[in-house]
A and B are shown apart, each in its own frame.
Chain A
Amino acid sequence: MKISCDEATKICDQNQYKEASFLDKLKLTFHLFLCKKCGQYSHQNNVMTKCYEKHKLFEIKKNNCLKDEEKKCMKEELKTKI
């Protein structure tokens, strides 16, 4: 049952994506019961996930299209090769 802080926080990270196994979650809970540092990490990890969710919306809003002048350049370069 005993795991290191490195392993515990790894499971904690995996759990943020809901992909930690049952056994791993059990080991994590046991570890968090004894380790304050990882408890802090686990708590902050939830905050970080919220930040990433927010960042996701920001990235989606970013225009993921090519600009007109970029396309124009591409066109010209392609023309020379046709």
Chain B
Amino acid sequence: MNEIKKHILNPEKWIDLHADYLFNYTITRISDRDLAKDLVQDTFFAGLKAKENFQGKASERTWLISILKRKIIDQYRKMNSAKGRAEIKMSFYADGEHEGEWIEERVPSSWEAEVEKNIESSELNAVLEKCIGNLPEKYRTVFKMKTIQDFDTEVICKELDITASNLWVIIHRARTQLRKCMEDNWFKK
């Protein structure tokens, strides 16, 4: 029987070998740069602490990623806490006789005819980034994973532990909020 190669850990080289990879993995899931950096650092610390548990079956990187994944999930849980649930401005009446109808001041108003030309401007990204930044953390994460990172719906639902219908409600609210924000700060300015 062939001897299976046993992997070993080499913490001195972790930063050089894995820091960029782990960071890239994190930043596509957690849009905050500083937070992503902290999670990577925490992963290395946790890895050191758990060194004894490493059995050498998986590669060093795979093992570190599995620690990082748990850290990211913990982060998502925090997003569901009070702070992460910051208010989002609703575009529709939530109840009463007008339930589901547009709230007057959030009805889409007509944009100028040069809209198409307008979106070619390089300044648009700065404004859009600001509008996305205004979304509550959870909405921002879901919206960016779906729209900017192109993750599959199932993947996002699995990672964030939400249902598909939940995801679409979040995407819907994020997009109506972003439309309004871009109307006020770009298209009608």
Contacts and interface: CB of A to CB of B under 8 A. Distances in A.
B169 A10 contact: yes
A48 to B, nearest CB: 6
B146 to A, nearest CB: 7
Given A47-B115, A48-B178, A75-B15, A9 B23 contact: no
Interface of B: 11-12, 14-16, 19-20, 23-24, 27-28, 37, 40-41, 44-45, 48, 91-92, 99-102, 107-111, 115-116, 119, 124-125, 128-129, 132, 146-148, 150, 153, 168-169, 171-172, 175-176, 178-179, 182-183
Contacts of B116: 47
Interface in A1-26: 3-7, 9-10, 13-14, 16-17, 19
B45 A78 contact: yes
A7 B173 CA distance: 11
Contacts of B146: 17
Categorize the interface residue count of chain A: 35 or more
A45 B48 CA distance: 48
A47 B146 CA distance: 17
Contact of A54 (B119, B171, B172): B119
A13 B153 CA distance: 14
A71 B19 contact: yes
Nearest to B110: A40
